[in-house]
Chains A and B, each alone.
Chain A
């Protein structure tokens, strides 16, 4: 574990019965860095997140968290029984008490202020994603863990959300670890991409991973064909998050560090 890492996973293996879900996986997230784990369905992405969060125990390997690490977690989805009368405000309060000024700032930032008195069961999928993000942010996390944050959003909504996450990373200086099974836009928002299919196929800056043969083998032609769109958004996203000093250099640094083709 390098001294500045928020969380470091080394040589991680998780089995469910005979199935090896994660096979000698290494992963590290540092402050201010957005790491995106991509991979097909059933590749072990959510299991990896659960181990990082301490919800699952690894069979072998080590998980090291920085001492006293505050994690903000945005779960994949949330299903609340209709019989529970719960407003967005109460839902957010369940995460813990927060100073008023700070709370207002977060809610304005994420755009959920006007939803506060709505019942949680009545808000739309996109609004729910923002509410879940707000709850994670209210903890003033040093590490933000997002499981499929753009799930169920249209392309414009996804772009907005990733832009918001990039912006928040700049403001809070927190590390971000997120998972996605689709490639849409998600790579554009990352400093480093980890391509996972039980083992780490390749890792590096988004534009390098895209040319890696293992990556090309993992995602079918149809997905690759639409990469034109991502490249476009990739450039766009960099223009938007340009305020974040040295974001690009940062990514290159990690790319060099990990050799770009960390075969498992």
Chain B
């Protein structure tokens, strides 16, 4: 048992050179976080919210380039700012929630595209940003994914119980002493972090699928919230491995292949008889 582990550690440096292994390690790291977070996105019916935030990530990329700051940090900052704006706008009664989401999602995406275009001197691979560029993953990317992922998971674990209470009934949770505003702010930070780290894998336009599809597949075979979160992480991981293998096999784009693998898993789970479903 010990020898293989030692060999693994020794050869880890060389393995990191292999772009496919880097892609797999990065993808698995992302799926481990998008699974549990996706469960909350599904329970709270926030798929469009996640979509709007990931669209705004392009604005983060553009501002990061414009200001010469770290792109990941800029994405996190823009996502948090847009999340706060969304929450504030959803409190008004003039426009319905989905309308507000539509305005912000496409407004920020377009603004991001325009700002990128205005920076003539900087070459930006738009296709990679929109649909992911997992095969170009660097070791620095991996540090970001695992660093951000661990922080996001830790925050989610810490928030788990109050967030579940707020998800079930916000007023009841508030009367029982949960600081609802703090919990929701914490949740926004988790979403922003996860979006920043997940963009590399599936890109801005496909990001919500990594949140929603594994969680939806896990629902059918889960009897507790925790079980659903863990199964979503596992299903996401399998999707990443399957999608990357398929991408290598048939020379298909990696991000969309990962998403398709998740869809196939979802459909397979749907075939399981619903007898023991709770």
Q: Which A residues have a C-beta under 8 Å from some C-beta of B? A: 50, 53-55, 71, 73, 75, 78, 80-81, 83-87, 90-91, 94-96, 119, 122, 135, 139, 145
B12-20, B62-70, B215-223, B256-264 - interface stretch: B215-223
Q: Which 4 interchain pairs have the tightest Cβ spacing? A: A73-B175, A84-B43, A119-B278, A94-B165
> Which A-chain residue is minimally distant from B169 (CB atoms)?
A78
A139 cross-chain contacts in B, Cβ below 8 A = 176
Within the assembled complex, what's the spacing in Å between the Cα atoms of A85 and B216?
12
**B89: CB under 8 A from chain A?**
no
B86 cross-chain contacts in A, Cβ below 8 A = none
Pick 29 A–B contacts, CB within 8 A, sort by A: A50-B171, A53-B171, A53-B175, A55-B171, A73-B171, A75-B172, A78-B172, A81-B42, A81-B43, A81-B44, A84-B43, A84-B225, A85-B222, A85-B225, A85-B227, A86-B225, A87-B223, A87-B278, A90-B224, A90-B225, A91-B168, A94-B161, A94-B164, A94-B165, A94-B173, A95-B165, A122-B278, A139-B176, A145-B175
Tell me the minimal C-beta distance from A77 to chain B in angstroms: 10
A78 cross-chain contacts in B, Cβ below 8 A = 168-169, 172
Tell me the minimal C-beta distance from B32 to chain A in angstroms: 20
**B224→A55 contact, CB < 8 A:** no
- Output the residue of B215, B223, B228 with the most chain A CB within 10 A: B223
Q: From the candidates B171, B176, B223, name the one contacting A85 in the complex (CB within 8 A).
A: B223
Q: From the candidates A54, A94, A119, name the one contacting B175 in the complex (CB within 8 A).
A: A54
**B167: CB under 8 A from chain A?**
yes
**B171→A84 contact, CB < 8 A:** no
**B106: CB under 8 A from chain A?**
no
> Which A-chain residue is minimally distant from B228 (CB atoms)?
A85
- Output the residue of B168, B225, B227 with the most chain A CB within 10 A: B168
Tell me the minimal C-beta distance from B236 to chain A in angstroms: 16
Residue interface mask B209-235, A partner, CB < 8 A = 1: 000000110010011110110000000
A55 cross-chain contacts in B, Cβ below 8 A = 171, 174-175
**B225→A96 contact, CB < 8 A:** no
- Output the residue of A85, A86, A119 with the most chain B CB within 10 A: A85
B175 cross-chain contacts in A, Cβ below 8 A = 53-55, 71, 73, 145
B174 cross-chain contacts in A, Cβ below 8 A = 54-55
Tell me the minimal C-beta distance from A182 to chain B in angstroms: 22
Within the assembled complex, what's the spacing in Å between the Cα atoms of A91 and B172?
11
**A75→B225 contact, CB < 8 A:** no
Interface residues of B in 27-60 (CB under 8 A from A): 42-45
A135 cross-chain contacts in B, Cβ below 8 A = 172
B216 cross-chain contacts in A, Cβ below 8 A = 83
> Which B-chain residue is minimally distant from A132 (CB atoms)?
B172
Tell me the minimal C-beta distance from B269 to chain A in angstroms: 13
**B176→A95 contact, CB < 8 A:** yes
**B224→A94 contact, CB < 8 A:** no
Tell me the minimal C-beta distance from B240 to chain A in angstroms: 23
Within the assembled complex, what's the spacing in Å between the Cα atoms of A216 and B84?
50
**A94→B168 contact, CB < 8 A:** yes
Known: A90-B224, A139-B176. A83 touches B219 (CB 8 A): yes
**A85→B224 contact, CB < 8 A:** yes
**A85→B278 contact, CB < 8 A:** yes
Residue interface mask B91-118, A partner, CB < 8 A = 1: 0000000000000000000000000000
Within the assembled complex, what's the spacing in Å between the Cα atoms of A94 and B225?
12
B215 cross-chain contacts in A, Cβ below 8 A = 83
Residue interface mask B159-188, A partner, CB < 8 A = 1: 001001101110111111000000000000
Known: A83-B216, A90-B225. A75 touches B169 (CB 8 A): yes
Tell me the minimal C-beta distance from A177 to chain B in angstroms: 13
A81 cross-chain contacts in B, Cβ below 8 A = 42-45
Known: A83-B219, A85-B222, A91-B168. A96 touches B176 (CB 8 A): yes
B42 cross-chain contacts in A, Cβ below 8 A = 81, 83
Tell me the minimal C-beta distance from A48 to chain B in angstroms: 14
Tell me the minimal C-beta distance from A145 to chain B in angstroms: 8
**Can you add 15 more A-B contacts, CB < 8 Å, to A53-B171, A85-B223?**
A55-B171, A55-B175, A71-B175, A75-B172, A83-B42, A83-B43, A83-B215, A83-B219, A84-B167, A85-B222, A85-B227, A86-B168, A87-B223, A87-B278, A94-B161
Within the assembled complex, what's the spacing in Å between the Cα atoms of A53 and B170?
13
